[in-house]
Every structure is written in structure tokens, then in C-alpha cells.
């Protein structure tokens, strides 16, 4: 990926492909002009000395060879563009700009709310917030800039109506601000003695210059970027509700009427545009278009996914969904550090051969001591294998480029040790163009609810390890691939996005489906697909822990961008604000599947119980393991305790643990074969089960903090085997894949594939 002088990053436009598909690769490089490209099939992704090491197989491909590369620009930050081909917003006469705003970082730096402003060329006009937190009107004639400041600095997380008018006849500029605080919508109470508003006026002696190429923007302004290219800067952090522009001067009483009539939203005389974010909500979710309900339909198109479905200036606190009260959900939250798509130019493309075998692939880029892998997954065009590995891309996205390792007050107690950071960890923080994970917060403290693979993801790479020295997600899942290869089992792969799109039809060709080690984030369609597959006789091996946990969503046409909102339950790095609990890409309540009535126990027999990151443990057999009808599971494993080894902290039961629980939906027929208590008190009980906070909720005192090995059958000859531990997959490679965990796994896989009937 990098050395002290150079950098090499890449991503692909699609992550799940079939033979015959064309995949495009986007690459950005610094201090190097050419790299070598080589398609590889990745078999094992971890370099731990107790495992087989990193294993890749070169693949003949037309894309292989020398590749010319250069640095590519990324526009970071969310904002909205107005398409104004007719030039209706190039106003030379009187005008008034107005907006309802909820600023979150009012004193951070200059921030533009809306306008046709170019800060590099000093031209145009805008309603903005200055670096000291005052609202201001700004305009420039190409050489001079006039800035007229409001009367009072803005208070963060409180609603305001701000407006500014220009009267070119007199030269007067008037800036208005009014507090719109209610008992529900803002940080502070309306009863507090805060000075929220006022009016200021000043005469200026210039007129705004309207350059034709200057865009009218919401939440940012035009600037000159790298190499003189146009970019967007002075980005705004916070919400904008209804806003607009009229081609006349609004007087004080009209501003007052605008404040009192926010719910009615009636258009003003000589309205040029009035953007109303409450328009366009539908049963399938919300798009990125902020509608102009004025006469010219000058709609605003969001860039980097401004967050919709957020409470607005008139939210009354009675509903937590925009579906129930759309008129109260006009808030659009913008963030200067948001990133959904780098929009890089393709560096190369490759038409995947129709006869190439299914598996985990990557485009490997190398030059000097720089190295980068761009992973993708090849489905079978015509499935022939009996085994499928379900790649949990949604969960990869949830953790994509996470920066939680740098949050020492949180990480130190969670890890139970001092994290050891790698260069890749630092690069993720130093480079805003790499974006954030859903375990991070934006600059203004709001949670990150979107994550996309249209950007380089440095921790979705082979050889990556957590700061505790354990493989995690993609590299850990490659241990399952390496195990299948070592045993000579024929298998194919598919991604959970395929499951979301196609339902159980994507799984139906297979006798057995094996999950990844941590399929944490799941959509409703994905859950329905697995449930339907099992109900029709399908067989599943769940090799992980903390799976099927967060309610996630995708927009129908954009499988590269997932959404999740962390609500008031579960192990979460942030919590959604009151009233903002429904995803915008799909009109569903987010949070835990458990709180939507679909606890993981109902699907796979076990569900999240505990997590710890200091050491992993071993399993001990229970009485069900001695049932002669189930002796095949433990054939060749006479030991009462097994699995005290692994590439993930030295054991097969660790990191995150799932338990059997009849009260949460474990089937009555499920057999509890073995259990592994959390090895230390750094394995506490999950937060969603702690109703009162008191001592004694660590693993040594709470028997619920454990991983359980569970087996049960389903209708039509189906079956489920669940390991209840993320670390299970990383134990498979120990001793060249010859160990008790591997033997148990082989016993189950072979029985699930070969036997027509299984013990009920």
C-alpha cells in the first residue's frame, strides 16, 4: 500500500462478478508512475507463524502487466448541487436567501449554507457562517468581497431561521436570525435565557459577479482544487431544513411570517426556488434529491449522500419515523468528512473469463516496495459445487477503514491490552479521502451511517490484522477458504449482496452454505433468504460470532453502499439522535434485529452474548455431545476439551461469542454440544442485556458470557451447525489444517453434503 514516500490505493466498481462480466479498477498513486498488475486467487490471507502463511495463486489475465498510474482527486464532504442550465439563479437585482439551519460546528471555520459563491475567484453571493459562528451574507465582484455579519453567534445544535437580503438600489444588506428552539428539536430548552436572534444591516458598495460556471450549492461553495480543477470547499456541518431564494427584499415582518408558517410552506412572492426536503418521501425510502417546489423545479442533487430522514425544525417528538410524520422530517444532515464514492477514473478493466473458477480474487498491484490488493469475488455462472461460502461484504463495509483503534478511552478497556497500531492504521486516519466506517463518528460527533466499497478499504485486504494482532473479517474468512482448499472440497463463493438481490434462489443450487466468521450486518432480504433456504432443506454452517445483528439496508440500484443506524441498544460506537431511527435507503427501523423480533437464535440457534479481545479460549463438551446419534460430529476427537489454539489470540472460542438461549428463540430441538465460557472478565455480558449496571457481569461470574456449539435440523432435511465464535475460523489453519477444530468441521461438512438424512 505505501512506503515513506509513495502511496498506492485502489478499488473496483463491483465486488461480486460472474464470468463474462467486466470489472473496472480505479487506482491512485503517489511518487510512482507505473506498477505491475497481476490478478491472483487468494487462498489464505494471514501471515501468522502458526498457520500456513499467506497463499495466493497468479491467474492469467489480459489485465496483467505494466499499468500507468497517477494521483486521483477525491471530493470529500456532503453537499447538494443545483442544475441551473437556464441561469435563473444568476441574480443581478434584489434578492433574499433564507434557510432553517441546525449547525453542529458553528465556530470551526467558514461554512457556506447556500448560494452561488466562489471563494477562490471572490465572486457571487452566499448565506454563510463565519469562523466565529456568526451568520453572514457574503458577496464578491471578482476582486473585492463584502461580508455582512449577523448580530449574534449561533449556538450549536439549536434550530435557527437565518436570512439575508440585498437591495442593490440602496446598497443595503440585512442579515436576520431567529431562534426556532422548541422543547424537542434542539439542544437547549426554549425557557433558557439565550439570545438566539437579532437583525443587522450595513451598506455595501459592490454588486455580486455571476460567473456562468459557478454552481449554486447547498452546504458548500466553489473553490479551485488540485491542478485548477473545480471543487467544493467551506463545507457545512449540520442540518438544513426548508430553504430558498426570492428575487426581492424580504422585510422583518415577512421574515416573521416565514418563521411562523414553516409547516405550511407557502411560496413567497417572486420565489426563484424553495427547497423542501419533506417532499419525495416514499414507502421504499428517500433518494438524494432535495425537491424545489417553486416554479422552476431547480432540484438539488446530493453528493456523498447527505443524511435524510432526519428531524426538522418543527419536530414535535411524538414520532420516530419520517413515514408517520413526513412534514416534521425536513432536516438534511451534511458532513464535511462524508465520503460515498471517490469517483476516480478507471485505470484498467478486465472481462472475466467465462470458464474461470469461482473463488476469492484480487488485482495485485506492486511497484518498488509498494503493494496493494483490490479484492473481488467471482460467483459461478452455472453452479456445480455442493458447497457455497457466503462472503459477508455488508459486514466488511460496516468496519471499512474504521478508526476505533485510535479512540483509546474506548479501545483500551475493550481490548484489555494496549493496541499496537500499524502503518495502515495511521494512513486510514491521515487520509480523509479513504472515508469512515459505521463504527466511527463524523467531525461533528454524529454517527457514520453509510459505508461504501467505491473507495479503497485498507482493512479489507489480505494480511491485515487488528491492532490486537488477530485476523479480522476478510483475512479471517480466507482461513475458511484455505481450509476448503486444503481438504480438497469443491466450493464456490457468492456475496451477501447477491443474496439481497436474488433471495434464496442464490442459495438453492447448493447443498451446504458456510458463512463467514462475522456476518454482523444483514438486510431483511438476506435473513429471509437464509430462512427460506433452511426451510426448503438447505444446510448451513455458521462459523462465526455476533452474526445477524444490525438491521442494514441498501438502495435498490446501489449495492456498493450500505446503511445502518445504531439505536439505543446493542454494542455501539454511537447512537442515533431521538427520532432518527429509520434508514433512508429503505424505510425500515434500524438497530438490532433482536429488537425487531428476529434474534439470531431463531435463525442459527445462537446469538451474541459477549465479546473480549485479550485472549481466546477452548470448548468443553456437554452431555448432548455423548449422544450416540451425534457421535459422527466428534469422530476422531475424544478430548473433552478442544480448540485451545488458533491464529486469533490463541484459541478457537474468542473475540465475539454467541450462546444458545431458548428465551430468544433457539429451537427446542437444538442440541447443545459444547460450550466455552469467556476466558477472562474482559468478556462482559452484552450491553443489550444489562438492565442494571452492577459488578459481577463479567465472564467469571456470569455464565451467559459464553460461546456454544449447537446443532439442529430443520424441515425438509435441512440442518444448522453453529460454532458461536469469531475465532473458530482462525483455528482451522493451525498445524497445517490438521487439528481438532478442523476435524469437527470436516465431520459436519461431509455429513451435511453427503447424507440424505441427518439425526433429528
Query: Is a pLDDT exceeding 90 seen at residue 265?
Result: no
Query: Is a pLDDT exceeding 90 seen at residue 696?
Result: no
Q: Is 745 helix (H, G, I), strand (E, B) or coil?
A: helix
Banded model confidence at residue 426, pLDDT cuts 50, 70, 90:
confident
Residue 370 and residue 5: Cα distance in Å, rounded? 10
Q: Is 630 helix (H, G, I), strand (E, B) or coil?
A: helix
For 472, phi then psi, to 5°, come to -150, 130
Which residues face 555 on adjacent strands? 558
Contacts of 169 (CB under 8 A, 6+ apart): 94
- The mean pLDDT value for 298-305 works out to 98
Residue 451, C-alpha cell as written in the block: 459505508
Query: Is a pLDDT exceeding 50 seen at residue 161?
Result: yes
Quickly tell me which residue has 474468542 as its cell.
654
Q: In what order do the strands lie in the sheet with 706-713?
A: 491-495, 387-391, 512-515, 539-542, 719-722, 706-713, 671-677, 619-621, 641-642
Query: Global pTM?
Result: 0.96
For 411-449, list the strands marked E by DSSP: none
Q: What is the overall mean pLDDT for the chain? A: 94
Residue 65 and residue 264: Cα distance in Å, rounded? 62
Domains and CATH numbers, the chain: 7-74+349-378 (2.60.40), 79-334 (2.60.120.200), 387-754 (no CATH)
Query: Is a pLDDT exceeding 80 seen at residue 706?
Result: yes
Q: Is 634 helix (H, G, I), strand (E, B) or coil?
A: helix
Lowest mean pLDDT segment, chosen from 102-111, 210-219, 446-455, 699-708: 699-708
Q: Is 742 helix (H, G, I), strand (E, B) or coil?
A: helix
Which residues face 494 on adjacent strands? 390
For 72-170, list the strands marked E by DSSP: 79-82, 95-103, 111-118, 123-129, 135-141, 145-149, 160-167
* 3-state DSSP of 686-737: CHHHCCCCCCCCECCCCCCCEEEEEEEECHHHCEEEECCECCHHHHCCHHHH
- Provide the phi-psi class of 735: left if phi over 0, else alpha when psi is between -120 and 50, else beta: left
pLDDT tens profile 564-577: 999 989 989 899 99
pLDDT at 4: 54
Cβ atoms of 711 and 671 closer than 8 Å: yes
Query: Is a pLDDT exceeding 50 seen at residue 2?
Result: no
Residue 626, C-alpha cell as written in the block: 455423548
- The mean pLDDT value for 270-293 works out to 93
pLDDT at 698: 77
* 3-state DSSP of 487-550: HCCCEEEEEHHHHHHHHHHHCCCCCEEEECCCCCEECHHHHHHHHHHHHCCCEEEECCCCCCCE
- The mean pLDDT value for 424-449 works out to 92
DSSP state, 373?
A: E
Query: Is a pLDDT exceeding 70 seen at residue 438?
Result: yes
For 51, phi then psi, to 5°, come to -105, -170
Lowest mean pLDDT segment, chosen from 1-5, 113-117, 221-225, 551-555: 1-5
- Closest C-alpha to 545, from 604, 461, 464: 604
pLDDT at 48: 92
Residue 87, C-alpha cell as written in the block: 441561469
- Closest C-alpha to 164, from 205, 129, 195: 129
Query: Is a pLDDT exceeding 90 seen at residue 739?
Result: yes
pLDDT at 50: 92
Banded model confidence at residue 284, pLDDT cuts 50, 70, 90:
confident
- The mean pLDDT value for 58-76 works out to 97
pLDDT at 412: 67
pLDDT at 315: 97
Q: Which of 219-233, 456-470, 643-657 has the highest mean pLDDT?
A: 643-657
C-alpha dihedral (486, 491, 497, 503), degrees to nearest 10: -140
CA atoms within a 13 Å half-sphere pointing along the CA-CB vector of 691:
0
pLDDT tens profile 476-487: 999 999 999 999
pLDDT at 556: 87
Q: What is the CA radius of gyration of the chain?
A: 28
pLDDT at 409: 65
pLDDT at 703: 83
Banded model confidence at residue 10, pLDDT cuts 50, 70, 90:
very high
For 328-447, list the strands marked E by DSSP: 331-334, 346-351, 359-367, 370-378, 387-391
Contacts of 377 (CB under 8 A, 6+ apart): 15, 16, 17, 359, 360, 361, 391, 393, 493, 494, 495
DSSP state, 354?
A: T
Banded model confidence at residue 220, pLDDT cuts 50, 70, 90:
very high
Q: Which helix (H) or strand (E) holds 482?
A: helix 474-487
Residue 585, C-alpha cell as written in the block: 435507503
Coarse DSSP helix, strand, coil percentages of the chain, rounded to the nearest 5 percent = 15, 35, 50
- The mean pLDDT value for 250-263 works out to 85
pLDDT at 692: 77
pLDDT tens profile 17-31: 999 999 999 999 999
Q: Which helix (H) or strand (E) holds 427?
A: helix 423-430
pLDDT at 378: 98
Banded model confidence at residue 266, pLDDT cuts 50, 70, 90:
confident
From first CA to last CA, the distance across the chain in angstroms is: 50
Amino acid at each position: 500500500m505505501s512506503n515513506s514516500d509513495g502511496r498506492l490505493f485502489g478499488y473496483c466498481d463491483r465486488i461480486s462478478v460472474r464470468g463474462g462480466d467486466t470489472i473496472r479498477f480505479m487506482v491512485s498513486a503517489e511518487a510512482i508512475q507505473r506498477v505491475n498488475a497481476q490478478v491472483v486467487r487468494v487462498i489464505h490471507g494471514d501471515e501468522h507463524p502458526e498457520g500456513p502463511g499467506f497463499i495466493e495463486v497468479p491467474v492469467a489475465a489480459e489485465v496483467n502487466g505494466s499499468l500507468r498510474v497517477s494521483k486521483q482527486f477525491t471530493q470529500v464532504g456532503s453537499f447538494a448541487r443545483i442544475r441551473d442550465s437556464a441561469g435563473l439563479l444568476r441574480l443581478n437585482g434584489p434578492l433574499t436567501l433564507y434557510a432553517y439551519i441546525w449547525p453542529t460546528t458553528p465556530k470551526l471555520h467558514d461554512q457556506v449554507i447556500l448560494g452561488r459563491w466562489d471563494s477562490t475567484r471572490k465572486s457571487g453571493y452566499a448565506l454563510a457562517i463565519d469562523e466565529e459562528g456568526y451568520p453572514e451574507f457574503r458577496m464578491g465582484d471578482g476582486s473585492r468581497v463584502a461580508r455582512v455579519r449577523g448580530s449574534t453567534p449561533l449556538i450549536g445544535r439549536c434550530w435557527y431561521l437565518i436570512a439575508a437580503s440585498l437591495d442593490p438600489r440602496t446598497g443595503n444588506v440585512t442579515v436576520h436570525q431567529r431562534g426556532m428552539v422548541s422543547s424537542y428539536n434542539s439542544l437547549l430548552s426554549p425557557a433558557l435565557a439565550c439570545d438566539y436572534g437579532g437583525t443587522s444591516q450595513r451598506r455595501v458598495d459592490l454588486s455580486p459577479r455571476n460567473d456562468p460556471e459557478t454552481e449554486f450549492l447547498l452546504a458548500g461553495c466553489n473553490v479551485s482544487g488540485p491542478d485548477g480543477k473545480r471543487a467544493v470547499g467551506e463545507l457545512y456541518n449540520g442540518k438544513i431544513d426548508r430553504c430558498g431564494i426570492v428575487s426581492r427584499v424580504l422585510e422583518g415582518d415577512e421574515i416573521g411570517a416565514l418563521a411562523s408558517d414553516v409547516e405550511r410552506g407557502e411560496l413567497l412572492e417572486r420565489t426563484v426556488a424553495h427547497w423542501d426536503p419533506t417532499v419525495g418521501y416514499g414507502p421504499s425510502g428517500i433518494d438524494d434529491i432535495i425537491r424545489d417546489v417553486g416554479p422552476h423545479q431547480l432540484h438539488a442533487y446530493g453528493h456523498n449522500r447527505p443524511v435524510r430522514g432526519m428531524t426538522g425544525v418543527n419536530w414535535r417528538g411524538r414520532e420516530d419515523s419520517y413515514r408517520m410524520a413526513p412534514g416534521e422530517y425536513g432536516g438534511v444532515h451534511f458532513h464535511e468528512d462524508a465520503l460515498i464514492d471517490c469517483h476516480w477514473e478507471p485505470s484498467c478493466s478486465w472481462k472475466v473469463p467465462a470458464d474461470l473458477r469461482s473463488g476469492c480474487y484480487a488485482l495485485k498491484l506492486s511497484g518498488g516496495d509498494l503493494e496493494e490488493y483490490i479484492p473481488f469475488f467471482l460467483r459461478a455462472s452455472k453452479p456445480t459445487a455442493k458447497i457455497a461460502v457466503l462472503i459477508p461484504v455488508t459486514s466488511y463495509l460496516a468496519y471499512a477503514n474504521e478508526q476505533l483503534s485510535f479512540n483509546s478511552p474506548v479501545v483500551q478497556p475493550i481490548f484489555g491490552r494496549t493496541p499496537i497500531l500499524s502503518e495502515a492504521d495511521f494512513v486510514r486516519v491521515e487520509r480523509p479521502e479513504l472515508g469512515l466506517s459505521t463504527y466511527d463518528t463524523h467531525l461533528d460527533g454524529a454517527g457514520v451511517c453509510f459505508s461504501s466499497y467505491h473507495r479503497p478499504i485498507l482493512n479489507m485486504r489480505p494480511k491485515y490484522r487488528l491492532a490486537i494482532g488477530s485476523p479480522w473479517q476478510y483475512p479471517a474468512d480466507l482461513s475458511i477458504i484455505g481450509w476448503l482448499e486444503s481438504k480438497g472440497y469443491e466450493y464456490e463463493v457468492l456475496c451477501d449482496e447477491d443474496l439481497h438481490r436474488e433471495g434464496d434462489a442464490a442459495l438453492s443450487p447448493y447443498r451446504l452454505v458456510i458463512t463467514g466468521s462475522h456476518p454482523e450486518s444483514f438486510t431483511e432480504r438476506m435473513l429471509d433468504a437464509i430462512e427460506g433456504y433452511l426451510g426448503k432443506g438447505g444446510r448451513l454452517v455458521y462459523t462465526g460470532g455476533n452474526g445477524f445483528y444490525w438491521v442494514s439496508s441498501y438502495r435498490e440500484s446501489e449495492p456498493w453502499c450500505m446503511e445502518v443506524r445504531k439505536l439505543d441498544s446493542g454494542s455501539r460506537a454511537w447512537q442515533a439522535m431521538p427520532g432518527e431511527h429509520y434508514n433512508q435507503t429503505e424505510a425500515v427501523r434500524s438497530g438490532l434485529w433482536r429488537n425487531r423480533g428476529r434474534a439470531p437464535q431463531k435463525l442459527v440457534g445462537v446469538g451474541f452474548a459477549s465479546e473480549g479481545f485479550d485472549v481466546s479460549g477452548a470448548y468443553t463438551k456437554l452431555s448432548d455431545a455423548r449422544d450416540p446419534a451425534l457421535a459422527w460430529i466428534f469422530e476422531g476427537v475424544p478430548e473433552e476439551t478442544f480448540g485451545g489454539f488458533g491464529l486469533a489470540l490463541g484459541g478457537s472460542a474468542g473475540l465475539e461469542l454467541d450462546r444458545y438461549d431458548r428465551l430468544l428463540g433457539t429451537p427446542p430441538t437444538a442440541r447443545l454440544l459444547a460450550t466455552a465460557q469467556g476466558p477472562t472478565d474482559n468478556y462482559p455480558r452484552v450491553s443489550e442485556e444489562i438492565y442494571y449496571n452492577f459488578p459481577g457481569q463479567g465472564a467469571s461470574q456470569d455464565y451467559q458470557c459464553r460461546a456454544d456449539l449447537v446443532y439442529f435440523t430443520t424441515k425438509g432435511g435441512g440442518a444448522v451447525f453453529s460454532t458461536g465464535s469469531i475465532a473458530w475460523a482462525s483455528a482451522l489453519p493451525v498445524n497445517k489444517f490438521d487439528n481438532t477444530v478442523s476435524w469437527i468441521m470436516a465431520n459436519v461438512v461431509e455429513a451435511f453434503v453427503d447424507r440424505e438424512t441427518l439425526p433429528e
